[in-house]
Amino acid sequence: MRPDYGLYLVTDRALCLGRDLVDVVAAAVRGGVTMVQLREKDCDTREFVALARRLKQMLEPHRVPLLINDRVDVALACGADGVHVGQSDMHPKDVRTLMGGKGLLGLSVETMEHVREAETLGVDYLGVGPVYATSTKPDHSEPWGLDGLRRVREACSLPLVGIGSVNAENVASVMRQGMDGVAVVSALCSADSPEQAARHMFASVESVRRNG
């Protein structure tokens, strides 16, 4: 089955307003999220694996793929559908080897040099970010902007997902730069109703995918 990158939720427990992460993700999935990435940067491995397994169990019946940020060990332990890595995480070629050739592999790209290199690494899609300046990742690099997304689209044949301060207001503009999807953190994790927020954003994604 061809993966649907349309509305891609990247988790951040700190942004869930004290709610259980699995509940927040479940609500967002009811609203239309098509893919989930579990990102945990300061979590003990045992807790990370337990959380990943709970998410995987919840997502499985919905056929929504679960990707794990950075940690191939956690991905393998929970039976995730893939791994997403950044430029300081495990090298994509090493990830492929450890995953036994199976699963989705995503890579974050912050420069055109990253984009050009990515085409040679056998990754499945690129996370292009940050689209806008973002507070979720305070140490982020120079934002791409809408023009930057367009340049990446023209330079690269891989599926592209825009990430970085994508929200209900700008999702259509981001999609119109030729993106295959948008990755969203706080606009879903911190929404009063993650389900309604996801439904609203997914409608925008679908509208651009159908009508441009």
Binding site for a copy of itself (CB under 8 A): 44-47, 49, 70-73, 76-77, 85, 87-91, 94, 97-98
Q: Considering the complex, state which of residue 71 and residue 132 has its C-beta at the smaller distance from a copy of itself.
A: 71
168 SS3 class: coil
DSSP string, 72-119: HHHHHHHT-SEEEE-TTSS-HHHHHHHTTT-SEEEEEE-SHHHHHHHT
Q: What is the closest distance, in whole angstroms, from the C-beta atom of residue 68 to a copy of itself in the complex?
A: 10
Is 204 marked as binding a ligand? no
Q: Considering the complex, state which of residue 93 and residue 176 has its C-beta at the smaller distance from a copy of itself.
A: 93
Contacts 24+ apart (CB under 8 A), 203-208: 203/32, 204/168, 204/171, 204/172, 204/175, 205/6, 205/7, 205/171, 205/175, 205/181, 206/6, 207/172, 208/172, 208/175, 208/176
Is 136 marked as binding a ligand? yes
Q: What is the closest distance, in whole angstroms, from the C-beta atom of residue 36 to a copy of itself in the complex?
A: 20
Q: Considering the complex, state which of residue 73 and residue 124 has its C-beta at the smaller distance from a copy of itself.
A: 73
Catalytic residue list = 39, 108, 137
Is 69 marked as binding a ligand? yes
Is 196 marked as binding a ligand? no
Q: List the binding residues.
A: 37-41, 69-70, 89, 108, 134-137, 185-186
